[in-house]
Structure 1
Amino acid sequence: MASKGLLALIVVLVIILAVSFLLGPSVLNMQGGTPLIGGGNSSVSTVSSTQSVTVTTIVATTTVTTTLSGEGTLSPVDLFKKVEGSVVAILVTTPSGSAQGSGFVYDNSGHIVTNNHVVAGQQSISVTFLDGTIVSAKLVGTDIYGDLAVLSITNQSHALKPVPLGNSSALQVGEQVAAIGNPFGLSGSMTLGIVSQLGRSTTGTGGYLLIDLVQTDAAVNPGNSGGPLLNMQGQVVGVNTLIFSQSGASEGVGLAIPSHTVRRITDSIIKTGSYNHPWVGIQGVDMTADVAKAMNLPEAKGFLVLSVLPNSPAATAGLKGSDRQANIGGQNVPIGGDIIVGIDSITTRNLNDLLLYTERNKSPGDTVTLKIIRDGKEMSVSVVLGVRPPPAG
């Protein structure tokens, strides 16, 4: 029986230049790198050696515990004992077969957090606790752009033990973390590692840019998707989502959605069934030295707007896209659009800076002030953020 992929396995090869800033239906990728869904009982999404992927460095109706990192460090043994009743295996049936993933208990109302790509296309969902108890679950809502989903246990006779959310903003490179999930269907597996880096961005399984990710070398494999990444206080600091691999298994580079993002999106899904991302509506590339030279600029900084989507907040604000081309390295490259070098009081070096600030701090309807360079002169433009449109089709 055919199965879907659940843990996205990405081969990191080169950094592509073309991306989109809060674009809408998809991430602009001028050099290819479309994820491919593989077979097996767990989700596998790979990019071949000739492809490339982007790599750049509300209120809930129930109470969710949030505590700070650094309090009451546990041994790995005690950490596992603390959270083993909170981590679950998720089995999904779809029109094309079945798939497995992981998740964790979010609150006492029976909400389970996992990845969107774990439950995409679901016809039925079952949740298995480590003690073997199996219960049915229904889908509350998803956020395809953030790759998160919330389930609700329909039979709450099983005692629930929510795992508290930690403060991912307090994480430090080198801090020890643990991943717990169901790699290859092996339930309740725990691995240890460290935080390798913070603020990573890459293209996820749906082709959408995932930002602000936590990089870890804790081993995660197909079936770990949706499971918790924990600090040594037993608090969730991330949701394991992707690995970069050439072999299809862990090679020490995993990415997790940070807990501050998980909290914001999950609480919105519980309350409204969805999450609205802020949207500007532009496409472009990070500036390079060659492009800066072609535009007669003294330095390469900021994000070059190549096109402005019709009827978008950017169009309403009067942002301008590329109006000419230049021959760079034997290729015609679009240049001449606005260059975004700041947002509100924040200097932005590239797209990643823009995305991090906007997603962390802003909501649809908020007004931001973009500092741009147009025709060699700095100026400011006010943009009222919109709601990112759903994917086309």
Structure 2
Amino acid sequence: MAGSILLRRGVTLKNIDSRRLGPWRSLTGNALVRFPALVALALSLSISLAACSFVSPDFSAGATEEASSQPETSRTNISGSVASTGRASATPASGDGTQAVQARTGDREEPSTGSPGEGASQVGEALGSGPLNDILGDNVPEVSPPGSGQFGGPGQLSELTPQAIVEAQELVLRDIYDNALPSVVLIMVSRNLGSGADRPSVPDIPGIPDDFFERTGGTGFVWDDQGHIVTNHHVVAEADRVTVVLPDRTEMKAEFLGSDPDSDLAVLRVSDPDGLLAPVTLGDSEQVYMGQLAVAMGNPFGQQFSITTGIISGIGRTIRSGHSPFSIPEVLQTDAPINPGNSGGPLLDRNGHVIGVNTQIVSRTGVNSGIGFAVPINIARQVVPAILEDGSYEYSWLGISGSNVVPDVAEAMDLARNTRGALVIEIVPDGPADDAGLQGSDNKVMLEGRDWPIGGDIIVAIDGETVRSIDDVITYLVGRTRPDQEITMDVIRDGELEQLTVTLGTRPGS
């Protein structure tokens, strides 16, 4: 029952672990309506005119293979629930013709071409015919090469009217919604909180039933044509009954097939003899880039089948899953408003393709504050088939905790200040890293009033791929390795470069 709302007015279950009660938060005045001055995204132009600043928290210390360090805020479990922790622990809430910025590496590559006509019309085909052409008429700007920073010939965009630009955006969003709606579902969950001595403490009022049930809600989406529904683990965890509701209000009893707490994903199955379910189209989260359009669909606070929009405001994030000691890498950050009830719903690109599964928000109030996170769809591509086959997913495991090497730590270890890598702090006894001979930190140094571990191995490469942070280690292990796989690690030990071979194990609890 990780942080879910008790549907009694004025009472909210706040903390994932301690279940501390707190007040219900009003959403009045929190809605944000966006009308960008130029909707270049609607025309598939790789340009964003909305400027914003982001102050990055200090992730330099305390990151581990199990869970990276987090800023001092709270995150809200967005399954129709509110949760908080002292630190910002996890609290569960391919653009065609453009260049994709790869997380951390800075490399650029052309994304694959999607199918025209789904969601927003594509450049070339859309500008020659279709609704956008009806609006824009002959005032179609020439599209410059992606990344050139140019719209086209001088004065061409000035020929577009503000009304045409806004209407083009509206048509794109309408198409996204209409195409995705048949694939999005409301998930209603009930949990028996116990009876007699086990039930919650309430006044002794005549007529109160013996059994108490907690009722929560979330979102899911249709994975395939076999009746499989994907949602968040925290939406359906410990559920006694799960009901799936379609946009036409058809209700279906759902069977829980399995889940993966480490990625916060779960799979349900419903019987669909009438063929009412329409599978989503999956995108490619590796092709997602900063500033691209992001659309969230779901059921925030029970407001069924809502749509909100924003941009991708961060890529390659690593967050705590909230349900295990391990982290989720390559997470997408968005400012599209997502709130309790959006959990498990799709995050879509401008083509209506699913690029992520909405799971968390960072908030001090329990509601949207402009920082939301979605599990990348490429992780779901790994995890969901395994759940369908085995009911769970097994991850490879190294068995370390570590942190990023920052300049002061490098200097304290008599290394160049520009040394980067993942500093091994602790080794799990008898784990894969221990068996391979990796060494953890054996000393500490006081820096700015804080103890920093030093002296352990610094991982600088895995299988020849550069490692610059502990997040790189987590990302490589999750995305590129399997249990019992052998990997080669380059480490700096006592100022010298050494190479070790590690046979990975299976993550505990997998």
Residue deviations 1:341-364 (CA, integer Å, cap 9, x gap): 111121111011111222121111
Deviation at 1:159, TM superposition (A): 1.7
Matched, 1:153 2:197: no
Q: Tell me what 2:498 maps to.
A: 379
- Indicate the residue corresponding to 2:52 in structure 1: none
Cα pair 1:226 1:239 within 8 Å, conserved: yes
- Distance of 1:189 and 1:36 partners within structure 2: 19
- CA shift for structure 1 position 47: 3.9
Pick one of 233, 242, 247 that aligns with 2:360.
Answer: 242
2:68 and 2:320 in contact (8 A); partners too = no
Letter in 1 for 2:458: I
Calculate percent identity across the aligned residue pairs: 36
Does structure 1 retain, via aligned residues, the 8 Å contact 2:436–2:502? yes
Larger Rg: 2
Which of 459, 470, 475 in structure 2 is aligned with 1:340? 459
The residue that corresponds to 1:220 in the other structure is 338
Question: Would the aligned equivalents of 1:15 and 1:52 in 2 still touch at CA under 8 Å?
Answer: no
Deviations 1:315-342 (A, max 9, x none): 1111111222333334443321111111
Selected match of 2:425 from 303, 306, 311: 306
Conserved? CA contact 2:295–2:308, under 8 Å: yes
Distance in 2 between residues matched to 1:32 and 1:254, nearest whole Å: 16
- Partner SS, residue 84 of structure 1: helix
Cα-to-partner distance string for 1:135-179 (whole Å, 9 max, x where unaligned): 111111100101100011146445211111111222222221211
Partner of 2:446: 327
Contact 1:114 1:226 in 2 (8 A): yes
Q: Which has the higher contact order (CA 8 A, sep 6+)?
A: 1
In the other structure, the counterpart of 2:219 is 102
What is the TM-score with the length of structure 2 in the denominator? 0.67
Q: Which amino acid aligns with 2:176?
A: L
1:204 to 1:82, Cα distance in 2 relative to 1, 3 A: same
Report the Cα distance in structure 2 between the residues aligned to 1:347 and 1:318, rounded to whole angstroms. 20
1:199 is matched with 316
Distance of aligned partners of 1:6 and 1:76 in 2 relative to their CA distance in 1, 3 Å threshold: farther
2:189 to 92, 113, 117: 92
Alignment of 1:2 onto 2:46: no
Matches within 5 A, 1:15-54: 15=59, 17-21=61-65, 23=66, 27=67, 42-47=80-85, 51-52=87-88
Note the alpha carbon deviations across 1:48-79, whole angstroms, 9 max, x for none: 5xx3459x98xxxxxxxxx8547435221122
What is the CA–CA distance in structure 1 between the aligned matches of 2:293 and 2:15, rounded to whole Å? 22
Aligned AA for 1:204?
Answer: S
**Residue 187 of structure 1: how far off its partner (Å):** 0.8
CA distance in 2, matches of 1:6, 1:118: 15
Closer, same or farther: CA 34–187 of 1 in aligned 2, 3 Å: closer
Gap regions ≥5 residues in structure 1: 58-66
Alpha-carbon separation, structure 2, partners of 1:218 and 1:308 = 39
Query: In the alignment, which of 173, 177, 180 is matched to residue 83 of structure 1?
Result: 180
- Specify every segment of 5 or more residues in structure 2 that has no aligned partner in the other structure, as ranges: 17-24, 26-55, 91-102, 105-111, 121-171, 194-213
**Could you tell me whether the CA contact under 8 Å between 1:68 and 1:166 is conserved in 2?**
no
Q: CA, structure 1 residues 389+68, in 2 after alignment: closer, same or farther (shift >3 Å)? A: farther
Could you say which residue in structure 2 is the equivalent of 1:357?
A: 476
2-side partners of 1:220 and 1:164: how far apart? 21
Q: 1:29 Cα shift?
A: 6.0
Q: Take 1:188 and 1:113, find their aligned partners in 2: how far apart are those partners?
A: 16
SS in 2 for 1:370: strand
Match 2:232 to one of 115, 119, 134 = 115
- Point out the structure with the larger strand share: 1
Aligned counterparts of 1:13 and 1:348: Cα–Cα separation in 2: 21
Residues 264/325 of structure 1: CA separation in 2 closer, same or farther (3 Å cut): same
Structure 1 residues 216 and 68: alpha-carbon distance in aligned structure 2, compared to 1, 3 A threshold? farther
Separation (CA, whole Å) in 2 of partners of 1:242 and 1:37: 5
Deviations 1:109-128 (A, max 9, x none): 11000001111111111111
Q: Match of 2:389, as an amino acid?
A: K
RMSD between aligned residues = 2.9
- Identify the match of residue 348 of structure 2 among 230, 233, 241: 230
Compared with structure 1, are the counterparts of its residues 194 and 52 closer, same or farther at alpha carbon in structure 2 (3 Å cutoff)?
closer
Aligned partner of residue 182 in structure 2, secondary structure: coil
Contact 2:356–2:376 (Cα < 8 Å) also in 1: yes
> What is the letter of the counterpart of residue 180 of structure 2?
V
Number of aligned residues: 371
Q: Is the 8 A contact 2:395 2:507 kept in 1?
A: yes
1:170 aligns with 2:287: yes
1:271 alignment partner, SS class: helix
> What residue number does 1:62 align with?
none
Deviations 1:171-204 (A, max 9, x none): 2222212111000011110111221221111223
- 1:138–1:154 contact (8 Å) kept in structure 2: no
Residues 32, 279 of structure 1: CA spacing in aligned structure 2 closer, same or farther, 3 A cutoff?
A: farther
